[in-house]
A and B are shown apart, each in its own frame.
Chain A
């Protein structure tokens, strides 16, 4: 596998693991956008990341940041700072990192699936939705040029077990925010504190065009459930999605017209695709012949 030539993907921050995944003196090999990397936490606590050749020779050194419970690097020169998730500053929120799970899929398909609600009754049956309450009422979705993110809000959907802390089914409000092509968060009704939002996010590490490692996390108000309970719930949801993610063709998301048919409920995805097209992103997309 070779390093991508896509400048949009290269000149951006990408996740390569949880902070806890990197222990002192234990170098880890990983891949990013087709490029092999080695990352090591040194005795002083700093993480150093290098591109390496197929023979293991150390090449270019990459910038590193540790933020939002995860480690970030870049293969190029990002024009902007890493996005912000201010809710990480709220000390009474419970943070849970669910670990990196691999999917044989394009990271863009993973993000699109995260933005999708219509699949809840069929893929997350009796948790995030169930028949016959399948209707996705109209909502708002837009590209916010000022922050260069895709946002969707005024979404409402009936869920039997929206969060582990939920007792009984009810209508749940959602907002979606795509902070960069492979990273997204959602805000949903918090059962324990109705005036706040619970946050669930996905940071997708694009290993290859058809392979990614997905780090899910939660930033929630939940005094009842343990970290393990929450990890189990989130992993259950993601593994239910994996059946779909690993069975979509073409693998890459087609940004050209006519490849796939969409309906009104797909608004967020369509804005996401439009945004990716504007950026000129190629990695993880399907190229029209």
Chain B
């Protein structure tokens, strides 16, 4: 028996529905159909009236969640794909994100964003939106990379009084498995050292954590390099203590992300390390993101659009040889 990443998301929602009468789920095709990725499979039957199909109305889905949260509920909204949250952008960044600051009334809602690329998904079913939402004050943005984090961070997200953007990576849904959900977990806002090392630090999040580990293994075989991989887990809050401590050990930084290259999480990490830990650096810090084009459809183009173990190794070799 093993648990997949998407199972963990489903199971977390089941636990939330069971334990907390304030929780309900709202999204497209999530009721009887169980969701486009089956992340809500069987939940409508188990919890009648609390797993609701929405019209194709992303704006209204979030507006509805804000209203419900004002009234004391804990809605979880499933966007069918993160890309479609662009339609809900206004309600997320202007309604939900500003609400506590303006009125003093928190709006505890969780937006699940099936994020990132998979082969053949193309420009509109592959996007990574975390940087956009992290830009706005008033939102918590989490990016679980492991099965256990997918589970625990969804529970933690719903427990928070603030709006949480929960970015779940579609590539990990069925590919990533674990024997079981770990009992221990870190709180939101704490990064994890996924793989300890001493020659360079890769700061990554979501699916890129696994690509970074692959690259680190190759470099170990190739030249006995010991690469440290830091999994941010949440991009906002950003755990700079863990990042800076790692850079202090290694002296070298590669910030890695699947999102588009202009600005974003990797730029923020590099900027903060330069500002807060310039003296720790033995080489100019590097960033590696996707290419600066829409996410392409064809698997051959897609595989070269996002960072891969090969391109990560190239960036790391340059960093190590500086």
Q: Do A and B bind each other?
A: no
